[in-house]
């Protein structure tokens, strides 16, 4: 099984579009896609707005998406060609409670792509991509915590990589492999080849995540 995680430094910067783009570019990998959302005080961590993410029992929920046109991020994964798509919802700081269920999804899948920063507390992916947009100043603590583990950065074409985020090492950003995108195309051919090549290499050596 191959595991790809797509994170990012803040919300609304194209993480879901990068995930959908990779799914569409690499259908032969038969993706299972997972969206992880944490909520608290009626506010969604995905976009910072009031939401209905909170589950009826106020703990966790793992639901499988069945519709390709429902407008949710998980439906976008299906529309892009994912074989299965799931939405995992937990309270802020309680993702650990959902991880047994998430791990069961991983065990039954051929290749998995997860949109999340916080899941990196529990999983070591084969490929970690971090979406960065230098035009947005906010930088989540969860993204900063795992930035050094990123295999590559995915950034808007023409981005100024010299921008200074507070507490973020410019040297670290400068040394990372980078792939550019130009909306509405968020996954370049080069990025797809990189991900496919990395998973194929690890599979050949029997070292993919399990």
Which domains does the chain show, CATH number per domain? 2-201 (3.40.50.300)
Note the helical H segments in 123-181: 141-146, 170-175
Of the candidates 25, 13, 44, 1, the one whose C-alpha atom is nearest the C-alpha of residue 189 is 25
Residue 164: predicted pLDDT: 76
Rounded to 5°, the CA angle 170-174-152 comes to: 115
Residue pLDDT, tens place only, 189-206: 999 999 999 999 988 888
If one counts every other C-beta atom within 10 angstroms of the C-beta of residue 174, the result is 10
Indicate the pTM of the whole model: 0.89
Alpha-carbon span 82 to 30, nearest angstrom: 6
Residue 48: predicted pLDDT: 43
Share of the chain above pLDDT 70, in %: 90
């Amino acid at each position: 099984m191959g595991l790809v995680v797509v994170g990012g430094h803040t919300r609304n910067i194209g993480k879901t579009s990068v995930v959908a783009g990779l799914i569409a570019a690499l259908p032969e990998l038969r993706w299972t896609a997972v969206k992880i959302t944490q909520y608290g005080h009626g506010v969604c961590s995905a976009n910072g707005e009031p939401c209905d993410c909170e589950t009826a029992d106020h703990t966790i929920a793992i639901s499988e998406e069945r519709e390709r046109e429902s407008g949710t991020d998980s439906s976008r994964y299906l529309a892009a060609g994912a074989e299965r798509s799931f939405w995992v919802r937990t309270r802020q700081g309680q993702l650990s409670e959902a991880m047994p269920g998430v791990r069961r999804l991983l065990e039954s899948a051929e290749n998995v792509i997860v949109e999340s920063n916080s899941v990196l507390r529990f999983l070591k992916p084969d490929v970690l991509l971090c979406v960065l947009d230098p035009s947005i100043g906010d930088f989540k603590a969860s993204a900063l915590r795992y930035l050094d583990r990123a295999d590559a950065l995915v950034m808007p074409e023409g981005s100024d990589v010299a921008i200074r985020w507070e507490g973020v090492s410019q040297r670290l950003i400068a040394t990372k492999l980078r792939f550019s995108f130009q909306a509405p195309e968020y996954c370049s051919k080069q990025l797809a080849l990189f991900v496919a090549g990395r998973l194929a290499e690890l599979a050949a050596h029997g070292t993919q995540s399990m």
